[in-house]
Structure 1
Amino acid sequence: MAQRTAAVSSCDTQQPDFIHLNNLACETLGGKIVFATDEWFAPAANLLKRDPPRFEASAFTEFGKWMDGWETRRKRIPGHDWCILQLGLAGVVYGVDVDTSFFTGNHAPYMSVQVACLGRSGLLHSELWRELVPESELKPGYSDSCHNYFQVNYPERITHLRLNMYPDGGIARFRVYGVGQRDWSSVPAHQEVDLVAMTNGGVCLGYSDAHFGHPRNMIGLGRAANMADGWETARRLDRPKELKVNKHTVPGCEWAVLRLGHAGVITRVEVDTNHFKGNAPAWCRVEACTLTAAEEEAAGASNTWDSGKWTVLLPAQKLRPHHRHHYLEAELALKGAVTHVRLVIAPDGGVSRLRLWGRATPTSPAVAPPTSPAVAPPSKL
């Protein structure tokens, strides 16, 4: 059994790279609490909410102050409080965020995290639990200290986590960042699947801008619930003060790079601008390439993800607001297998979903996903 080899906490304002990965524990993916020792003031299910924590000063319940998180009673008996959560998407975890927002005089002062790959039984007392994050101090939930980040190295697939708080108190959110893993051996060779879907192991590796919404949202489940459930950039600051007839309205473009869950041949593309009615991009194109683990790492080291291997998969297409665009195989310019895609939108705006339907192909070790994704910081073109 491979063990965790490092756990580093960061409680400053700088965000670690792993937060650009998928939150495998989010309730929108199916994450759920299966057991908690105590939920007197607030239920543990709040830990898995997608929305940021909020605070209402005058909100009280019959049990005490209402808090948007998990809060237990002040402990008066031996032991400590803990809960078990089942990931919505089993996979490899690269880091966690223990968010104590608004828990300022009542936060849990210490915590630890254990993990396991379990079936339906043996959750509470299984000897399969392994340490992911050792007992560590938590900072109170003020705006400059509420995010307690822990980077980890545990390369095995995880289905469940046990969050221990010592001895009691409150935690607002528990985010588990990683990459989903699907058993591709059970997928028929000719079955068409969404190769970039989060549930199939797709992951966002880099982007130019994500001011209003992260591009990882594009590979989430179903259709977007609202604009916040998609990728949306800021308005470009280099746009002209006055638009002219027969001129390009706004120069430049924005982009997002994603790794497929499995190498494959893409046969259909869907670009959905659902909910983006006054802020959809004017047009888009999709580029693709095949990268080895080493090439991915090198490309990610440059903020522009300019690997020199990008080939047009879907030529430039005009986009309509609040519309589901479908592009069939005959409209695609690339027929071979690929591992990575880059969605380019111009000049800016929002895309709610990107679907890349195709057939998985045999993958050699040279193009297998690397142990740790090379997530690049945002950059402008």
Structure 2
Amino acid sequence: MGRADIISGFSEENEIASIKNGGKIVFATDDWFAVAENLLKDEEPEWKEGVFTEFGKWMDGWETRRKRCAGHDWSIISLNKISIITGFCIDTAYFTGNYVPRISIQAALLKEEEIKLFPERSSKAGTAASEKEFEKISRLKSEKWKTIVPMMELGAGYPETRKNYISINSNESWNYLRLNIYPDGGIARLRVFGINKIDKLMPICQGESIDLIASVNGGICEKFSNAHYGHPENIIRISKGLNMGDGWETARRLDRPPIIQVDSNGIIQVPGCEWSIFRLGSVGRIETIIIDTTHFKGNFPDNAKVEGTLCLSETAQYKNQQLWRTILSTKKLSANKPHVYELKDLDWFGPVSHVRLTIAPDGGISRFRIFGYKQF
């Protein structure tokens, strides 16, 4: 498994502040060594030995200058969608003698008229917020937002101490965060885990049907067998896949036979498979399924199938194999293309609350779409 948050209990939640999911920095007190936007990068932090800018050592994170005046540094993050937050990971990777020693996090649910009060963001290294920008941001009174993470200490950016996990137990909804650092220093990444709160399901193409599984519509990945190169939460993003790193890719299975055999339909005969289970944003009836292998050319799965179940209770044991029904029987896949399956191709169309995508024997998927109609 490729992500530490899998171990730390956040594997069932979406990242809701990353750049690819629409998160953005709207204010920062200081961007001297490295700009705050780096906090929200989807990629893992990197180190460049011996690389310096005109402002100092190049760092892949947000790093402010050493404080020589009253106060502390802070930034404000837009989550793009109103969300319920379940946890954070504050990653200080590579910030060892210059990491932020303490942080706290506040949150707010801002209205449209309040959002308009933000000053324009420039995002430029070697700069700090101006007096005019401070004056404008002060009207939001962000220092009085609700504290959801009290002041806590961080670990230095060494492998064994860089990732600082925080769980949140609240059903409150937020759309903006204030990250306070005390008093200054560097943080590589801010990962925010949670669930988008959906008031209205959104289509991503013409027509009345909506993408029931899209993360922006409340879909989440709940379980999976393997995520060695890319987490299955990536494949329910509403955007097109950027590259292989922006998809779900498993390790090569070690139970592959020495010599591959195929059946009369060209399906390879292997004992193993990989799978991921998703909870749809809304119970619905399925009309179209898209399994997209774009960017996966030498590592696409040979075949895939989709199963579904209806579980209306939070305690329902949907892991019971007898509860699952075949929606799309095993289909041969090919490289670097979307595979579209319409109603005539489906064995069952719902109503469905959860789906399981099974690929064999292994490989990568760029996007997974399930278009249909909200049932109840």
TM-score tier by shorter-chain length is: 0.7 to 0.9
1:139 aligns with 2:155: yes
For the residues of structure 2 that align with 1:197 and 1:268, how far apart are their CA atoms? 13
Give the aligned partner of residue 311 of structure 1.
325
Q: What is the total number of aligned residue pairs between the two structures?
A: 343
1:80 is aligned to 2:72: yes
Instruction: Tell me which amino acid in the other structure corresponds to 1:278.
Output: G
Q: Which amino acid aligns with 1:251?
A: P
2:308 paired residue number: 288
Letter in 2 for 1:263: V
Q: Deviations over 1:77-101 (max 9, x none)?
A: 1111100000133311110000000
Partner of 2:98: 106
Does residue 205 of the first structure (1) align with residue 222 of the second (2)?
yes
Aligned-partner Cα distance in 2 for 1:216–1:284? 17
For the residues of structure 2 that align with 1:18 and 1:116, how far apart are their CA atoms?
Answer: 22
Q: CA deviation at 1:151?
A: 0.6
Does structure 1 conserve the Cα–Cα contact (< 8 Å) formed by 2:31 and 2:62?
A: yes
CA distance in 2, matches of 1:199, 1:13: 21
Select the residue among 286, 299, 314 that pairs with 1:279: 299
- Range that drifts further, 330-339 or 314-323: 330-339
Residue 184 (structure 1) shift: 2.4
Q: CA deviation at 1:292?
A: 2.6
Taking structure 1 as reference, are residues 28 and 270 closer, same or farther at Cα in structure 2, changes over 3 Å only? same
**Contact 1:26-1:88 at 8 Å conserved across structures:** no
Structure 2 distance, partners of 1:28, 1:260, is 20
Establish whether residue 17 from structure 1 lines up as the match of residue 9 from structure 2.
Answer: yes
| Cα separation, 2, equivalents of 1:128 and 1:19 | 31
* Letter aligned with residue 228 of structure 1: G
Paired AA for residue 224 in structure 2: Y
Deviates more, 1:235-244 or 1:143-152: 235-244
Q: Is the 8 A contact 2:311 2:353 kept in 1?
A: yes
Shift of the alpha carbon at 1:245? 6.6
Which residue identity does 1:225 align to in structure 2? L
Contact residue 283 and residue 353 of structure 2 kept, 8 A: yes
Q: Which amino acid in 1 is paired with 2:260?
A: L
Match of 1:179 among 172, 177, 195: 195
Secondary structure at 1:218's aligned position in 2?
A: helix
Match of 2:352 in 1: 338
1:140-175 deviation digits (Å, cap 9, x = unpaired): 000111110001112122101000001111000001
Identify which of 282, 285, 288 aligns with 1:268.
288
Alpha-carbon contact 1:25-1:89 (below 8 Å) kept? no
1:230 is matched with 247
Give the Cα separation in 1 of the matches to 2:300 and 2:246: 14
Q: Tell me, yes or no, if the aligned pair for 1:239 and 1:249 is still in contact at 8 Å.
A: no
Give me the CA root mean square deviation. 2.1
Q: Deviations over 1:36-92 (max 9, x none)?
A: 111111100100001111111211111111111001111111111100000133311
Q: Which ranges in structure 2 are unaligned for 5 or more consecutive residues?
A: 118-136
Alignment of 1:48-63 (within 5 A): 48-63=40-55
TM-score under structure 1 length normalisation: 0.85
Taking a change above 3 Å as real, the CA distance of residues 30 and 185 of structure 1, as seen in their structure-2 partners, is closer
Once the 2 structures are TM-superposed, how far is the Cα of residue 336 of structure 1 from its aligned partner?
Answer: 2.8
TM-score normalised per structure 2: 0.86
Match of 1:79, SS state, is: coil
- % same residue: 47
Query: Against the structure 1 CA distance between its residues 139 and 214, is the aligned structure 2 distance closer, same or farther, given a 3 Å change threshold?
Result: same
SS of aligned partner of 2:322: coil
User: What is aligned with 2:335?
Assistant: 321
Q: Quote how far apart the aligned CAs of 1:249 are.
A: 3.9
Aligned match of 2:22: 30
Give the Cα–Cα distance (whole angstroms) in 1 for the partners of residues 309 and 182 of structure 2.
Answer: 48
Q: Which residue of 1 aligns with 2:179?
A: 163
Matched residues in 1 for 2:51 and 2:12: separation?
33
CA separation in 2, counterparts of 1:250 and 1:346? 8
SS at match of 1:153: coil
Partner of 1:257: 277
